Amino acid sequence: MSSSSDSRRRSWWLKTLHEWHWVSSALCLIGMLLFAVTGFTLNHAGQIEAKPRVTRLQAEVPAALLRGVSPPQGEGRAPLPPALRQWAQAAFGVDAADREAEWSADEVYLSLPRPGGDAWLRVGLLDGAAEYELTDRGWISYLNDLHKGRNTGAAWSWFIDIFAAACLVFCITGLFILKMHAGNRPFTWPMVGMGLVVPLLLALLFIH
């Protein structure tokens, strides 16, 4: 009776672990492919050439709008006024919402970092001359920045955290499934041990 009960318990745990394992692996599949490919491209960044494409645009802020724009007290950092933000959106396609600009007595400078490139906007407060520059380093650079979470915003940061949690579930359930099958697969633990020992030896012997 006890043997039958143990068998049912083992069967239930194995079924549950397999369900968690396949669900977490399905959730992680595309993300793991992305991070694996970009891990390779980041490791060989010196051999993969990126040819930046730079776009420069110029315009002039209307005098009536410019009269309503003034630096914050003591200069420093502050968001663009709504009217200037809307003008920048219309003139250059710039989304300046939730971004702080650097203000001085004669100009305002807005940095617009983005995955796979960079951009900035400068507006002269005396003459209204506006310059916008966009640098695009290509899709490989874009994917590399997604891998690093560079200038990707809060939503992507949350995705990385959730993806990491799903990967932990995938790995831990896989480890328990290995344990439950290890009795019939003698090479299970040597292979798991190799996955630990090889990178440890490489780190100790070749990374200084």
pLDDT in tens, the chain (208 residues): 567 787 888 888 889 999 999 999 999 999 999 999 999 999 998 888 778 999 999 999 999 999 888 887 766 899 999 999 999 999 999 998 889 999 998 899 999 999 999 999 999 999 999 999 999 999 999 999 999 999 999 999 999 999 999 999 999 999 999 998 888 888 889 999 999 999 999 999 999 7
Max distance between CA atoms of the chain, in angstroms, equals 91
SS3 label, residue 112: coil
Phi, psi of 169 (to 5 degrees): -60, -45
Residues 6+ apart with CB under 8 A from 172: none
**Residue among 193, 83, 95, 104 nearest 153 (CA):** 95
**Residue among 127, 123, 116 nearest 101 (CA):** 123
Query: In the beta sheet, which residues pair with residue 107?
Result: 124
Q: At how many degrees (to 10) do helices 153-181 and 2-43 cross?
A: 140
Is the C-alpha dihedral spanning 68, 73, 77, 79 positive or negative? negative
Residue that is written with structure tokens 């043997």 in the block: 3
